[in-house]
Structures are given as C-alpha cells and as structure tokens.
Amino acid sequence: MPKFDSHFRMGEADAAEYARYRLPRFAASKRLEAKEIGDGNINFIFRVRDLDSGDSVIVKHADADTRSGSRTLGFDRNRIEAEILKMEGELAPGLVPEVYDYDPVMACLSMEDLSDHVILRYELIKHKIFPRLAADISDFMARTLVPTLDMVMDPVKKKELVKRYTNPPLCAITEQLVYTEPYTNKPGRTKVFPPNAAFAQEELFSDTDLHLEVAKLKYAFMNDAQALIHGDLHSGSIFVREDSTKVIDPEFAYFGPIGYDVGNVIGNFCFAWANARVTMGEGATGAAGKDSYIGWLEDTIVATVDLFKAKFLALYKASATDPMGRTPGYAEWFLSTIIADTAGVAGLEMIRRAVGVAQVKDLTSIEPAEARARAERIVVLAAKAYIKDRRNYREGRDFLRALVEASLREKRNLC
C-alpha cells in the first residue's frame, strides 16, 4: 500500500489501517481500533484490537525524534529491539513477548499484547507480591547473557554481533543520564527534590571520591563488551502476572557489562524497598502487610543475586568453549567481577533516578514531602555504599545489608 511505502509518524487511525495492511491476522477485520497507550519518552505504542474477535497486538512505532521531541535517535533502535526480542525469546522461552513482525520502512515492531500482565514498577508501588520474580528474572538474565560471552560464543561470530548491535544514540543517553549528569549538576539536567538540596550538594555533587569511582564505571560501560545485554532492565521494563514474568523494551541493547543488567534490576528493587520503608505504617493493609511485603522484597533482592550467580555458573560451565575460559577458577573470578559491577551499577541507577532527569514514581509519588525526602536519602546513601565498596560485594545479603545500614544512618540523621 503506497501509504506505508515511506516512513511518517502515525496517529491512531493510521495505526489501525497499518495493522490491517501489514498483519495477516487483521487482513479481513471489519472493525479495528487503535489506541496510543505509551507513557515513555521515546516511542509511540499502539494497542490495535479487532472489536469483533477481541484479538489484539501491540505496534511499537519509532519516529526519528523521541516522543518528547528532545532528541533525534534515528530508527535503528527499532531493528535492534525486534532482533533482540526474537533472540531472547529463543534463549529464554516464555520470558519475553512474541514478535509477529518487524517493518524497517515504517519502523514498526508488532508483538504480543501483554494486557493480562501489569508493569512491575506500579505493582511494587502498590506493595504487591510476585512470588516468581527472583526465579524468573535471574533465569532471564543468566539465559540471555551467558551465550554471547567471548569464552562461550565463537569469537569471530561474537565480534560480528558486536558490530550488528552497536547502539550509539541509546548508549549516549545512558552515558549522559546515568554516568554523568547526576554528578556534574548542569542547569536543567538534574531534578533535586528541594528538601534534599544541601544533602545532594554534599553527598553527590561535591564528592570527588565518588566521581572517580563513577568515572571508572563509565569507562567500563563504554568499553567492556562482555555480552549482549538488555541495557534498560528497570522495573518499568518488566511485566508481571502472579504466574508469569515478561521482559520488554530491549531497545538499549548492546555489548556491555553484564552487571549493567543485574545492577538495574537490584537498584529498582531498592526503590521499592525505600518506598515501602517510608510509606507503610505498622499493620499496613493493602496488597500485603508491611512485614510480609518488605520480607518478600528483601528475599527477592537476596535471591535475585544468589540465583543469578548459581545459574550463571552452571550455564557458563556447561557452555564455555574457550580452553582458557575453562581453566578452574576462571568462571568464579569472572563472576566476582560481575557482582562488583552489579553493585556499582545498582548504585548508579539509584542515584540517577533520585536526582537525574528521568525519575521514578516509586520515589516521586511518595507523600508527604518529608517521607519522599527520607526515601531519596536512603536510596542515595545505599547507592554510594554500593559504588564505593563494590569490590567487597559477594552475595545477595551484602546488597541488603548496605540498604538496611543506609536506612539506619538516615534515621539517625548521620548523613
């Protein structure tokens, strides 16, 4: 159809027409409805539904500029997302949405509608428990990360994939938003909650020891092409149902440090912990009581790290092909560096979501203001411990211990 022979930014009516033209399942549909349901900064997300059969799909549509209009990113992220989702679907069946179609002309990725799932971040804010979360997310990470390691994959094929998944504009966003702006405090590039202005000045903008550690982590993000990572594995990229977990949105994927994925997951669980700590009264009702919710969250933080470690080691040992990579002790050494990176990245994610331009509702929705200020101070103090002491982190309980200590320090007003 000539209308879709060259790219333009679609509205809802265009998306319905597009789905009928492009997707065989809707070719004969009489009544198609498209609704734009995106709430992110970057893409346009349409849910297209056949009003007669009830069948529905998601069409993720990219424009050259971001949805917010603040950047020009080009279209390649859409290809990367389609290819990575397919790859992840093969490596970790059932843990990502099914891809139906990728159209490079219209920059559209058509995939499974996960309407029966909900976004993890918003459920954690409601203090809901998802018993499978640690098992599923550790599974997803181990299964998707190990196969593209140099010691596992044929090194020539790996380097070809590094070229195919170089993702400069999306990596530039991360390098700025995660690894730079929360420390340089340029006008308009941080959003410090006013009651914490003096705290942020002292703990973040003036702490040059912290800046040195962030610089080291930034260099690793820019250069350490360990594995093909998701690149944006926060709790808004995870859909959940009581009995199911699905990871979405790998448009930031590139070859980078494995700890970037694991650290994002842990950092986002820490937001949920800080939220619950300051908002749940004793005997809180809602989805779960305070003790059971925080207990589950703490178990989830610990188990995510420990299960990831166990699964990573088992998969690595079963699949490493490089003779030197099979040297006894190598896998354990490599994993110890991943756990240190995980701590560092969890800290970076926590700081950037507290004071950077892309904040999270886990913190910003907290009321009253004093409770939000407390939660953000807990997060920043724990984050600094994660970054500065990262080389001493070995297992899940190390992450929890630093979080609890940060909360106690904040309570005693020792910051």
Q: Which CB sits closer to ligand SR1, 36 or 389?
A: 36
Whole-number Å distance between alpha carbons of 265 and 242 = 18
Identity at 246, one-letter amino acid code: K
Candidate residues 177, 303, 313, 404; the one interacting with ligand SR1 per rule CB under 6 A: 177
Which CA distances in Å does 41 have to 71, 183, 255, 358?
10, 22, 23, 9
Q: Which does 41 bind (CB under 5 to 8 A by kind): ligand SR1, Mg ion, none?
A: ligand SR1
CB of 84 to Mg ion, least distance (A): 13
Q: Which CB sits closer to ligand SR1, 50 or 63?
A: 63
Residue nearest to ligand SR1 (CB): 358
Whole-number Å distance between alpha carbons of 404 and 90 = 38
Q: Which CB sits closer to Mg ion, 239 or 334?
A: 239
Candidate residues 106, 173, 301, 379; the one interacting with ligand SR1 per rule CB under 6 A: 173
- Helix, strand, coil percent content, the chain, rounded in steps of 5: 55, 10, 35
Contact of 139 with 95, CB cutoff 8 Å: yes
Q: Looking at residues 225 to 244 of the shown chain, list those that interact with ligand SR1 (rule: CB under 6 A).
A: 232
Angle between helices 330-355 and 290-319 (to 10 degrees): 140
CB of 69 to Mg ion, least distance (A): 17
Candidate segments 140-148, 172-180, 283-291, 329-337, binder of ligand SR1 by CB under 6 A: 172-180
Q: Looking at residues 344 to 383 of the shown chain, list those that interact with ligand SR1 (rule: CB under 6 A).
A: 358
Strand-pairing partners, residue 57, are 48, 112
Candidate segments 10-18, 92-100, 139-147, 169-177, binder of ligand SR1 by CB under 6 A: 169-177
Decide: is 119 part of the binding site for ligand SR1 (CB under 6 A): no
CB of 73 to ligand SR1, least distance (A): 9
Judged by DSSP in three states, 256 sits in strand
Decide: is 63 part of the binding site for Mg ion (CB under 5 A): no
Decide: is 41 part of the binding site for ligand SR1 (CB under 6 A): yes
Identity at 128, one-letter amino acid code: K
Query: Judged by CB under 6 A, how many residues of this single chain contact ligand SR1?
Result: 7
CB of 232 to ligand SR1, least distance (A): 5
Decide: is 42 part of the binding site for ligand SR1 (CB under 6 A): yes
Burial of 5 from C-beta contacts in 10 A (0-12 / 13-18 / 19+) = exposed
Candidate segments 170-178, 269-277, 331-339, 372-380, binder of ligand SR1 by CB under 6 A: 170-178
Candidate segments 181-189, 248-256, 262-270, 391-399, binder of Mg ion by CB under 5 A: 248-256
Angle between helices 369-388 and 208-223 (to 10 degrees): 70
CB of 357 to ligand SR1, least distance (A): 7
Strand-pairing partners, residue 59, are 46, 110
Q: Which CB sits closer to Mg ion, 123 or 410?
A: 123
CB of 249 to ligand SR1, least distance (A): 7
User: 179: which 2 tokens?
Assistant: 């690894």
Whole-number Å distance between alpha carbons of 22 and 393 = 50
Q: Which CB sits closer to ligand SR1, 87 or 170?
A: 170
Whole-number Å distance between alpha carbons of 65 and 323 = 46
Candidate residues 112, 123, 249, 362; the one interacting with Mg ion per rule CB under 5 A: 249
Whole-number Å distance between alpha carbons of 277 and 122 = 16
Q: Which does 43 bind (CB under 5 to 8 A by kind): Mg ion, ligand SR1, none?
A: none
User: 198: which 2 tokens?
Assistant: 């003096």
Which CA distances in Å does 220 have to 77, 199, 223, 345, 377?
22, 28, 5, 11, 27
Q: Which CB sits closer to ligand SR1, 270 or 307?
A: 270
Identity at 69, one-letter amino acid code: G
Q: Which CB sits closer to Mg ion, 103 or 249?
A: 249
Q: Which CB sits closer to Mg ion, 70 or 184?
A: 70
Q: Which CB sits closer to ligand SR1, 39 or 116?
A: 39
Write down how long the chain is. 415
Whole-number Å distance between alpha carbons of 45 and 34 = 10
Q: Which residues of 193-227 are buried (b: 16+ CB within 10 A; e: fewer)?
A: beebeebbeebbbebeebbebbeebbebbeebbbb
Candidate segments 177-185, 242-250, 360-368, 379-387, binder of Mg ion by CB under 5 A: 242-250
- Positions touching Mg ion (CB under 5 A) are 249
- Positions touching ligand SR1 (CB under 6 A) are 41-42, 173-174, 177, 232, 358
